Structure 1
Amino acid sequence: MIERGLWCFVHGMPHQRWNSGGHLCLICHSQLFAHLRERAPSYYRFLLEALPQHNAEALRSWAQEPNNWLPSSISSAAELVLWSLSAQALIQNLPLQTVLTQVAERADLEAVIPVAFPVSIP
Structure 2
Amino acid sequence: MPPVDEHAHTCGGTSPSAGGTNWPSWRETSWSFRDLALTAWHSGGLQAIDIADPRRPAQAGWYSPTPLPSVAIEDPALNRGPNKVTMWSFPIVRNGLIYVVDIRNGLYVLSYTGRHTKQVRATH
Q: Of Structure 1 and Structure 2, which has the larger fraction of its residues in strand?
A: 2
Q: TM tier, shorter chain? A: 0.3 to 0.5
Please state which structure has a larger fraction of its residues in helix. 1
- Which TM-score applies when normalising by structure 1? 0.36
Q: Which has the higher contact order (CA 8 A, sep 6+)?
A: 1
TM-score, scaled relative to structure 2:
0.35
